[in-house]
Amino acid sequence: MSKSLISIFSLSEEENPKIPGYFVESTAPINVEGDTPQAHKHSTAKEAEQNLNKIAELLFNKLDTRINNPENRKDFVEIVFAIHGFNNSRAATKARYQEIYNYIKTDSSQQVQDRANKLMFIGYRWPSETLVGDEPGGVWQKLCAAFTALPLLARAMLIGGIIGIGLSMLPQVRQFMYTNPFFYINAIILLVLMVLFFFVISLILLRALVYFRDNYRASNFGVPDLVEFIRQLDKALVNQVKEKYIHNISLINKLKEQFNYKVKNALNPELQAIVNEQDLELICNQVVESYCKDKTVSLEEFDESWIFKKTTSSITKQDFEEIVKLATRLIARDVEDEFHELREAAIELLENQAKRYWKERNRIKLTFIGHSMGAYVVTNAVRLLSNVFDLSSVGTLGSTKKVPALTIGRAFCFGRLLLISPDIPINTILSGRANFLRSSLRRFEEAYLFSNEGDLALRLASTVANYIFFPASTRESGYRLGNVAIKNNQGSGIVNLEQLKQYQKLSQNEVLESLFVDSFDLQQSLKDIQKRYHGFQGTEEEIASLFTYFDCTDYTDQIIKPNSALQRVLSLKRGRWEPGLIYYIRLTLASALRKINTHGGYFDGQFTQQLMYRLAFLGFGGFLDSLSQNNRQSALDYLCEECDRRKIQVLLSPARYEIDILGCDRQRIRREMLKS
């Protein structure tokens, strides 16, 4: 059987859970040549199609059972996607998604319980490669593969360097080199061989870091396959609507009658003799319905179980397939006759019915949790999914002031975006021509950034790797968004809460003034970088103001392990006069010894788990409701105290305060922010 583009597995052991959970993975191989024989098995195309239709059916039922109650018409069914970062094995990724799913499924807060019937969780895995390898003998095997894949010139350089350095170690050769009149020439040759050797070794080490290879896989496998999954799910949801209304369209019933007559006359005499009229009508009706829904008919719909359950004629599978193929050819034949016009009119009526259904009802919201390189996958997938011809998203060649729609496809709209230690450039939140992700970020209702000034994976590996291919002329522009921090003089807790209470909004400049990214130059803010390198004139979109920032650098809490003590989760305590270089050496050693996780510790802290998952599944307003039953203002004060106690700095987006606390109109606030 054919292999599917994606595999889909359930995360729940229950038959009908309140919150369904699924593990969706791209079947793209680690290497372009294909998977190794030891690689895990993926779903067949038929299994993936069945699971996709199951997801669509669950979502449609969640939506369709709610629209009859007028009180629920303002409510949304939501899918929360989680996307992992680079250097993640399949087992580790699935375990992380299972943890997220188990957390939200067992969350006892009233708000989660009330929304359970409107939620679904999907963990998406793109084909990431681990540093040590997923198979036995991982490191050695990876090094051997790296040598095998070397181009011939690089391989010759490496072998020549090894031979040259090896010979120079022999006493006889060294004596000959020193006593030879061509000593300088010999020394230059040896130096060249050593340079070539270490150059190729550097290439092998960079390959072994898997960052560049994962970046390619994220761009060319992870993003397109995620987009394709969402497109297929959109199509399956529309087909659910068509399935519901197809029998109510009289024109389709008329089409079935004519088509049945057409197929019957086209059958050869042998088939006419063995198939009865009831079964022929059944087959023709199924072909008509399939074609009207998808404009295509798949033979996989007519498997042996379908034949056995629905037909009574004693015909072979081969004869049955011949009838289906004939019917498929006839239904798709593009000729200008009465039947063709009837077919196109029936398809148009069904399509209009589906459009009307989604126009009259709330679309399904898509929320994304992107960690590390997963943030890159999310934002680029959104760019591909966006309707580039939507008039509300088309400005002019000289203006970017526009308010694009939140809708996507025929059945979806965008909800919330959580970027956790995102491995994307800092210019993502800066205004300017280089902000290629602006079109993605402004499409979400809510946006959150969880960052850590001392994130070593981004501070060292990502920054060094991006030095090679990221088109930045300065060190500052090469920093990653996951290292953005709030200045310490702002204090802990929600640092702009008092300003918001006094109806004082932070402007784009003030937001950027409060943020920095260079630990060796604490005085330089993002505002300075914006002004120096991006030519900011104060007329661009306020992208930075869309985000609520959670600086977790000094985050102190208990982790989810049993009997854990209060500790710093993402960093070490830095001495007041300790040089930055010494601090980062200590932090690197602690990270290498696995005493601290500067890149993924957000998923280990008890408070950050609650913060991230409830924001994703409930939104900011729902999260505040889960903290206090009194009112949201008191809940916000409580959140400020909790963040202060755990040494988390928060810069709250003005939009969140105006919409979720003051109750202002969401659309008006969003338009004002994007056009200011």
Domain residue spans of the chain: 139-208, 249-359
What's CA 619's distance to the chain center, in Å? Answer: 18
In the chain, how long is the greatest CA-to-CA distance? 102
Judged against a pLDDT cut of 70, whether residue 311 lies above it is answered with: no
Strand-pair category, 493-494 with 649-651: parallel
Q: What's residue 134's pLDDT?
A: 61
Judged against a pLDDT cut of 50, whether residue 409 lies above it is answered with: yes
Which string of DSSP letters, residue by residue, matches 356-380?
A: HHHHHSPPEEEEEEEETHHHHHHHH
Per-residue model confidence as pLDDT tens digits over 104-123: 999 989 999 989 999 999 99
Q: What's residue 443's pLDDT?
A: 83
Mean pLDDT on 462-470: 75
Q: What's residue 104's pLDDT?
A: 95
What tokens were used for 248?
């109510």
Q: What's residue 495's pLDDT?
A: 92
Mean pLDDT on 188-212: 81
For residue 534, how many C-alpha atoms fall within 13 Å in the half-sphere facing its CB?
Answer: 23
Phi then psi for 366, rounded to 5 degrees?
-110, 120
Task: Tell me which DSSP letter residue 489 carries.
Answer: G
Query: d(Cα 225, Cα 230) in Å, to the nearest integer?
Result: 9
Mean pLDDT on 66-83: 73
Which H or E run contains 651?
strand 649-651
Looking at the chain, the whole-number percentage of residues with pLDDT higher than 70 is 85
CA distances from 177 to 38, 158, 163, 190, 193 (A): 51, 22, 15, 10, 15
Query: d(Cα 517, Cα 515) in Å, to the nearest integer?
Result: 7
Q: How confident is the model at residue 81 (pLDDT cuts 50, 70, 90)?
A: very high
- Residue corresponding to tokens 């004939």: 326
| DSSP three-state, residue 236 | helix
- 64 versus 12: the higher-pLDDT residue is 12
From the list 332, 424, 340, 409, the residue with the least C-alpha distance to 378 is 424
What's CA 106's distance to the chain center, in Å? Answer: 24
Judged against a pLDDT cut of 70, whether residue 489 lies above it is answered with: yes
Mean pLDDT on 211-221: 90
Enter the pTM of the model: 0.89
Per-residue model confidence as pLDDT tens digits over 492-503: 899 999 988 887
Q: What's residue 308's pLDDT?
A: 61
Per-residue model confidence as pLDDT tens digits over 363-392: 899 999 999 999 999 999 988 887 665 555
Strand-pair category, 407-408 with 412-420: antiparallel
Strand-pair category, 556-557 with 567-568: antiparallel
Q: What's residue 5's pLDDT?
A: 85
Looking at the chain, the whole-number percentage of residues with pLDDT higher than 90 is 29
Q: What's residue 2's pLDDT?
A: 62
Q: How confident is the model at residue 222 (pLDDT cuts 50, 70, 90)?
A: very high
Q: How many CB atoms lie within 10 A of CB 55?
A: 22
Q: What's residue 286's pLDDT?
A: 85
Question: Using N-to-C axis directions, what is the helix angle for 138-148 and 183-208, rounded to 10°?
Answer: 120
Q: How confident is the model at residue 32 (pLDDT cuts 50, 70, 90)?
A: confident
| 8 Å CB contact between 445 and 479 | no
Per-residue model confidence as pLDDT tens digits over 577-594: 878 788 888 988 988 888
Judged by phi (left if over 0) then psi (alpha if -120 to 50, else beta), residue 563 lies in: left
Q: How confident is the model at residue 334 (pLDDT cuts 50, 70, 90)?
A: low
Query: d(Cα 287, Cα 370) in Å, to the nearest integer?
Result: 41
Q: What's residue 233's pLDDT?
A: 95
Per-residue model confidence as pLDDT tens digits over 510-548: 888 888 887 776 677 888 887 776 554 444 566 788 899
Judged against a pLDDT cut of 90, whether residue 65 lies above it is answered with: no
Judged against a pLDDT cut of 60, whether residue 73 lies above it is answered with: no
Q: What's residue 538's pLDDT?
A: 45
Per-residue model confidence as pLDDT tens digits over 612-667: 999 999 999 999 999 977 789 999 999 999 999 999 999 999 889 999 998 888 77
Q: How confident is the model at residue 163 (pLDDT cuts 50, 70, 90)?
A: confident
Q: What's residue 539's pLDDT?
A: 47
Mean pLDDT of the chain, nearest integer: 82
